[in-house]
A and B are shown apart, each in its own frame.
Chain A
């Protein structure tokens, strides 16, 4: 059966091959384990890109396959980041506090350490008490569980309410966007217990690994991100290859019909929404230690819109499309916005890419949507000679499944 799965999904082997070669090359070119051709900061960029590819996979599953245009998946991504960030910050501060108190004549009590940590972390928002949401922050295991539980639960409750009322299409997108915005606004408040707009910082310092250099840490996180992506890809390919994949694509194309086939459409949507929220959270938990800082601006709805743009440009409805889109667009984006792209002097006006990149991205998005709905991944079809069936004439109805003019006459 395994053999059958791989032969039916050749992209899995290709993907794993490319990912391994890429991981190996970066390792051999890195400062920690190789010839120091790739800087540590660029290793971090690449590691973060792999996390973005992972969340793009989740987005492709929920949007490209199931047809739910969620504009909230970057919120789950950020929550994942917050969850791991809480432990990172707590444990790291604990080390510092213990070190500082070690010089005292009387050894500090557990309470004193706790208070010291709280003052250190929350002094910035004028508080010295550890808010209840930090109750589990001392334990890595518990916080890791929360990475899955909190976004999973949020997605489950939100999805249940939204899907049960049969909210679909644009309305659902707006609803997910509202959820993201509400979360961001809540986190911006100082009394949310997550340091308001300061967010969590110093996440690149891993507790207990103080004497390991960032050169090495960056590569370790790069490996972890590659591993997560390398595990997620075949898993999701398996999920979408069988009847489950068939059903969710059918839901995307005509959900009423799927209901009459006897499938509980809401259950499927909820399943996919929750599962992808958890994948997004894992990606976030790997991303933010590499970014070093997380603040509520990361939950801005625009982040989730970018995510949709990556998937659209890469080619939705196929997993490698999402990965290609996220990698290509986010790397290009960091090139343009990093000031490395040369400005174009038109004589009367100078195009400064830092300002104009978003316009370019916007135009690219519109062009892809209009002229290449399959996105960059469509190039592979072109090589293989796969064409969309010639449906002859314009559609007679609003959805993809509708008859087309000449077809109806046949």
Chain B
């Protein structure tokens, strides 16, 4: 199995602070991976690098079968290449309806001229409905997404990610602020998604990571400290010291 994403020897410094230090990371095309680590370990910076928001000082980020470098690509090009990102805070377009939000995310040409001439076909509308049902918003389509509850906005955002049909999904703390039932739903969704694509979950909550039951990468001070099953990494004395010893 070749890697879908290969990050190697990446370093980034902000005003003298080394946020990422010689980090290497690989993920296969159908894999679920959790990234854990204490605050400031570089989890968000890592996602910023992969999605093109932050340019690393050195290192390589290679994507796909053809091993294209993502470093010279803009955020939008990287997103078009098949990397979707879910932010910690639900970011949906509150002024627009659920349908409009999903329609916008739907995989289609993205250039201004093509978008101007684009009109939704029956197939597109059907796909939007399916997606809405999949994330439990089937009866909310005409509502403005600003009216949805916190949890519903999270679902909508996941629906939008699915509409993009990404090959790699980066999910930042999906369980934050969710009820127990919502967490279970999220876990199921993520595990399901990882059957057809790569999913990287950044999470604080060890309990939630345990539910995901997947390979875990522990970050510390911008580098990989340990990697393996959750039981394996939690048995690592270094991990216990830097992470569990501090955070509990």
A interface with B by C-beta (< 8 Å): 1, 239, 242-244, 246-247, 249-250, 253-254, 256-257, 259-265, 267-268, 270-271, 389, 391, 397, 400-403, 407-408, 410
Contact = CB atoms under 8 A, between A and B. Distances in A.
A408 B147 CA distance: 12
Given A254-B91, A259-B75, A246 B100 contact: yes
Contacts of B108: 243
A303 to B, nearest CB: 28
Q: Which of A1, A253, A264 has the most CB of B within 10 A?
A: A264
Contacts of B85: 260
B111 A261 contact: no
B93 A264 contact: no
Interface stretch (B24-32, B113-121, B204-212, B214-222): B113-121
A254 to B, nearest CB: 6
6 contacts: A246-B93, A264-B110, A264-B112, A271-B113, A400-B95, A403-B89
B79 interface: yes
A259 B77 CA distance: 9
B89 to A, nearest CB: 7
Contacts of B146: 389, 391
Interface residues of B, number: 41
Given A246-B100, A410-B150, A263 B110 contact: yes
Contact of A267 (B53, B93, B111): B111
B105 A242 contact: no
A264 B76 contact: yes
- In the complex, the 3 A-B pairs of residues with the closest C-beta atoms, listed nearest first: A262-B79, A259-B75, A271-B112
Given A262-B80, A265-B76, A267-B111, A403 B150 contact: yes
Interface of B: 51, 53, 74-77, 79-80, 84-85, 87, 89-96, 100, 103-105, 108, 110-113, 115-116, 118-120, 144, 146-147, 149-150, 160, 164, 177
A1 B117 CA distance: 13
Contact of A244 (B51, B53, B112): B112
B104 A410 contact: no
A91 to B, nearest CB: 36
Contacts of B53: 256
A380 B92 CA distance: 27
Q: Which of A1, A253, A270, A408 has the most CB of B within 10 A?
A: A253
Q: Which of A249, A401, A403 has the most CB of B within 10 A?
A: A401
Contacts of B95: 249, 253, 400
Contacts of A260: 51, 75, 79, 84-85
A400 B92 CA distance: 11
Given A401-B91, A410-B150, A242 B75 contact: no
A397 B80 CA distance: 29
Contacts of B76: 259, 261-265
Nearest to B163: A261
Contacts of B120: 243
A338 B8 CA distance: 71
A254 B93 contact: yes
Q: Which of B76, B79, B96, B164 has the most CB of A within 10 A?
A: B76
A407 B150 contact: yes
Contact of B118 (A242, A256, A261, A407): A242
B112 A267 contact: yes
Contact of A264 (B84, B94, B111): B111
Contact of A408 (B96, B116, B144, B150): B150
A40 to B, nearest CB: 41
A209 B16 CA distance: 72
Contacts of A259: 74-76, 79
A183 B100 CA distance: 40
Nearest to B105: A261
A314 to B, nearest CB: 18
Contacts of A256: 53, 75
B5 to A, nearest CB: 16
A276 to B, nearest CB: 13
A389 B144 CA distance: 8
A389 B93 contact: no
A259 to B, nearest CB: 4
Nearest to B75: A259
B111 A408 contact: no
Nearest to B82: A262
A270 B111 CA distance: 12
A259 B51 CA distance: 10
A113 B103 CA distance: 62
A242 B116 contact: yes
A340 to B, nearest CB: 41
B149 A410 contact: yes
Contacts of B84: 260
Nearest to A390: B147
A253 B93 contact: yes
A265 B90 CA distance: 20
Contact of B116 (A244, A250, A270, A391): A244
A59 to B, nearest CB: 19
Nearest to A391: B146
Contact of A257 (B91, B100, B111, B177): B91
A270 B103 CA distance: 23
Contact of A250 (B79, B93, B113, B144): B93
Contacts of B144: 389
Contacts of A261: 76, 79, 104-105, 160, 164
